[in-house]
Chains A and B, each alone.
Chain A
Amino acid sequence: MTESTVAAEQGVCFQLKTSFLPCTTLQLLRYDLDELAAQLNASVQRAPTFFIGSPIVLDLESVKNLGNLDFNRIKQIIIANNMVPIGIRGGTEAQSMAAANAGMPTLILSKATAQSAASTAKTSTPAKPATPALPTKLITTPIRSGMQIYAKDSDLIVMSSVSAGAELLADGHIHIYGTLRGRALAGVQGNTDARIFCRSLEAELVAIAGYYLMKEDIQDTCKQAEMVQVYFENEQVKIAAL
């Protein structure tokens, strides 16, 4: 029985838990809503699926002195681009009241969470707090078949080729300045931002935070001689030329 089921059984209605939820801040720099609509749309088009469902905090610091703003329209513009406006910050008292009426209350973010809100990382699940980073592990000798290298709490750089049957694991990114013929698993502790970079991808398997692609899937996506990066986006492992 989980803690929450026990609590519910005893008649407890809720639990308050601290989660770290990175969200995107939209800093309003110029008050021109037609332009805002057009420019925001163009931005989102560049990576359409990336922003879907993103929680957005509207930052009014730069337009503080402009008095009343049409918050209803701003909210509509954000929603039209498939993002979720959750509130505002940095506005005057009058602006805060007007925004609240439009359904965008003022968020009081403590220093710690303000910093994480300002980050542009996007996940739909609570991200783990960053583990202390150790200096990057650097290997210059060839990685032979049967070898297994694990870079705990750090990135991994390999300056030679990785033979078939070898395995590279890292909590952070993996860089291979050679040919990858074996397996590379980045972000093994759950870091979906980890990426794999290599000069030539002939891998048996690549994985990021547990999501993997096998050799057959890789071959369709890229030519062998290209320099590529492997990254995780929208629940999928993707490969792109560098």
Chain B
Amino acid sequence: MAKIIVVTSGKGGVGKTTTSASLSVGLATRGFKTAVIDFDIGLRNLDLIMGVERRVVYDFVNVIRGESTLNQALIRDKHHKELCILPASQTRDKDALTEEGVAAVLEELGKSFDYIVCDSPAGIERGAQLAMYFADIAIVVTNPEVSSVRDSDRMLGLLSSKTKRAEEGRAPISEHLLLTRYCPKRVSNGDMLSLSDVNEILAIPLLGVIPESPAVLRASNSGVPVIDDTESDAGQAYADAVARLLGEDVPFRFLEEKPHWIKRLFSFKERETV
């Protein structure tokens, strides 16, 4: 049976779709058969971020309503053969989703995939609720910013109460924090919440810290998930996060400012005189 991962946040625009894309590519690269589903009915973006927008024929809602089979709707990724994408409908809205329909799709996917990544929409309405309802693992994407932290906190409350695992009294969903758009320079001059500030409020295990990076915008515009940009800091941070999700112990990078070359020069001189 596949492990279902929900990528959620509450707040919009924090990096859920970016994360879902990179996460699923990262898992597929490691050899796991991965499916990624866009739950944002009516405002689909996952297909754009993954570069498959020109190949969308059938979508998630078509499958739920029996208008197509799952195989007809799934799009096989050209660069990663273990990865499939199930796009959302653009013409319908979240009311088209039903609990039974979603359950049936997840069950069918579960037969042939190892991981199913559910890209949740923003908010706490039906789309977000259904994306998290069947999850085993939750990745709560948060920006180091007060409204994002509060919304993520709310989301954590919902994850512990309004999911199948909670309702059936099974082991709780495994929650992880992914801090995105982190800028160490702004943290040190006090503009931005630090990792420890966020941890103090959310208090869940940290999966990764993704630095603010121009590579993310380049990646979305070119339809290539940023994890494939192996030279970029964001791409490498995502790769580290995937490793940690799979149980590896990887030290956190990109938490400190890169010292300016003049500072590095002076610190070299200091070491000489000592």
- Chain A contacts to B: CB under 8 angstroms: 141-147, 160-161, 163-166, 181
B203 near A142 with CB under 8 A, answer yes
| Chain B 147-176 interface residues, beta-carbon cutoff 8 Å to A | 150, 153-154, 156-158, 160-161
**Interface residue B201 (Cβ < 8 Å from any Cβ of A):** yes
B150 near A164 with CB under 8 A, answer yes
Q: Which of A142, A146, A181 contacts B154 (CB 8 A)?
A: A146
Residues on B with C-beta less than 8 A from A144 are 153-154, 156-157, 160
Q: Which of B153, B158, B160, B201 contacts A141 (CB 8 A)?
A: B160
**Cα–Cα distance between A177 and B190 once the two chains are bound (Å):** 29
- Taking the closest CB of chain B, its distance from the CB of A142, in whole angstroms, is 6
- Taking the closest CB of chain A, its distance from the CB of B159, in whole angstroms, is 9
Main secondary structure of the interface of B (DSSP, over half): helix
B154 near A165 with CB under 8 A, answer yes
Q: Considering only CB atoms, which chain B residue lies closest to A160 in the complex?
A: B203
B203 near A145 with CB under 8 A, answer no
| Chain B 40-94 interface residues, beta-carbon cutoff 8 Å to A | none
**Cα–Cα distance between A143 and B201 once the two chains are bound (Å):** 10
**Cα–Cα distance between A146 and B153 once the two chains are bound (Å):** 9
A145 near B160 with CB under 8 A, answer no
Report, nearest first, the 6 A-B pairs whose CB atoms are least far apart. A144-B157, A145-B153, A145-B154, A146-B154, A163-B153, A144-B156
**Cα–Cα distance between A181 and B150 once the two chains are bound (Å):** 11
**Cα–Cα distance between A140 and B154 once the two chains are bound (Å):** 18
18 contacts across the A-B interface (CB closer than 8 A): A141-B160, A142-B156, A143-B157, A144-B156, A144-B157, A145-B150, A145-B153, A146-B154, A146-B157, A146-B158, A147-B157, A147-B161, A161-B203, A163-B153, A163-B201, A164-B150, A165-B150, A165-B154
- Chain B contacts to A: CB under 8 angstroms: 150, 153-154, 156-158, 160-161, 201, 203
**Cα–Cα distance between A147 and B153 once the two chains are bound (Å):** 10
Q: Considering only CB atoms, which chain B residue lies closest to A143 in the complex?
A: B157
Residues on A with C-beta less than 8 A from B150 are 145, 163-165
- Taking the closest CB of chain B, its distance from the CB of A5, in whole angstroms, is 50
Residues on B with C-beta less than 8 A from A166 are 157
- Taking the closest CB of chain B, its distance from the CB of A234, in whole angstroms, is 36
- Taking the closest CB of chain A, its distance from the CB of B165, in whole angstroms, is 14
Residues on A with C-beta less than 8 A from B201 are 161, 163, 181
**Cα–Cα distance between A160 and B200 once the two chains are bound (Å):** 11
- Taking the closest CB of chain A, its distance from the CB of B152, in whole angstroms, is 9
**Cα–Cα distance between A163 and B10 once the two chains are bound (Å):** 15
**Cα–Cα distance between A236 and B268 once the two chains are bound (Å):** 63
Residues on B with C-beta less than 8 A from A146 are 154, 157-158
- Taking the closest CB of chain B, its distance from the CB of A68, in whole angstroms, is 69
Residues on A with C-beta less than 8 A from B161 are 147
- Taking the closest CB of chain B, its distance from the CB of A225, in whole angstroms, is 13
- Taking the closest CB of chain A, its distance from the CB of B245, in whole angstroms, is 22
**Cα–Cα distance between A165 and B156 once the two chains are bound (Å):** 13
Question: Beyond the given A144-B157, A144-B160, A146-B154, could you list 4 further A-B residue pairs with CB under 8 A, ordered by the A residue number?
Answer: A143-B157, A146-B157, A146-B158, A161-B203
**Cα–Cα distance between A121 and B150 once the two chains are bound (Å):** 41
Q: Considering only CB atoms, which chain B residue lies closest to A179 in the complex?
A: B200
Q: Which of A143, A146, A161 has the most CB of B within 10 A?
A: A146
**Cα–Cα distance between A89 and B155 once the two chains are bound (Å):** 62
Q: Considering only CB atoms, which chain A residue lies closest to B10 in the complex?
A: A145
Residues on A with C-beta less than 8 A from B158 are 146
If A144-B160, A146-B158 touch, whether A165 touches B203 (CB-CB below 8 Å) is no
**Cα–Cα distance between A6 and B250 once the two chains are bound (Å):** 81
